Amino acid sequence: MNWVTRVTNYLWGLWAWAIFSLACLFSLIVALLVPGNLRRQKLVTFAARMVFVVAGVRVTVRGMDNLPLDSCVVVANHASYIDGPLLKGYLPARFGFVIKGEMRDIPVVHFLLRRAGSKFVERNETVGSSRDARQLVKAAKGGESLGFFPEGTFVLKPGVGRFRPGAFVAAVKGDLPVVPIAISGTREMMPSGRLMPWPADLTIEILPAIAPGDEDFASSKKLAEAARQSILLALGEPDLLLNEDAA
pLDDT given for residue 26 in this prediction:
94
- Give one DSSP letter per residue of 191-214, joined into a string: -TT--S-----EEEEEPPPB-TTS
Nearest residue to 18 (alpha-carbon basis) of 56, 47, 55 = 55
Q: What is the pLDDT of residue 59?
A: 98
Q: What is the pLDDT of residue 71?
A: 85
So what's the pLDDT on residue 167? Answer: 83
176 three-class SS: coil
Give the model's pLDDT for residue 122: 60
CA dist., res. 12 & res. 200, Å (int): 11
Single-letter code of the amino acid located at 203: T
Helix (H) or strand (E) holding 125: none
Q: How much is the pLDDT for 135?
A: 74
Phi (first) and psi of residue 20, to 5 degrees: -60, -40
DSSP 8-state class, residue 239: B
Domains annotated on the chain, with CATH: 3-241 (3.40.1130)
pTM comes to: 0.88
* pLDDT tens for each residue of the chain, 247 residues long: 688 888 899 999 999 999 999 999 999 899 888 888 889 899 999 999 999 999 999 999 999 999 998 888 899 999 999 999 999 999 998 888 887 666 666 677 767 777 777 776 665 444 444 566 677 777 776 767 888 999 988 888 999 999 988 888 888 888 889 999 999 999 999 999 899 999 999 999 999 999 876 655 558 888 999 999 999 999 999 999 886 654 4
The pLDDT value recorded for residue 9 is: 93
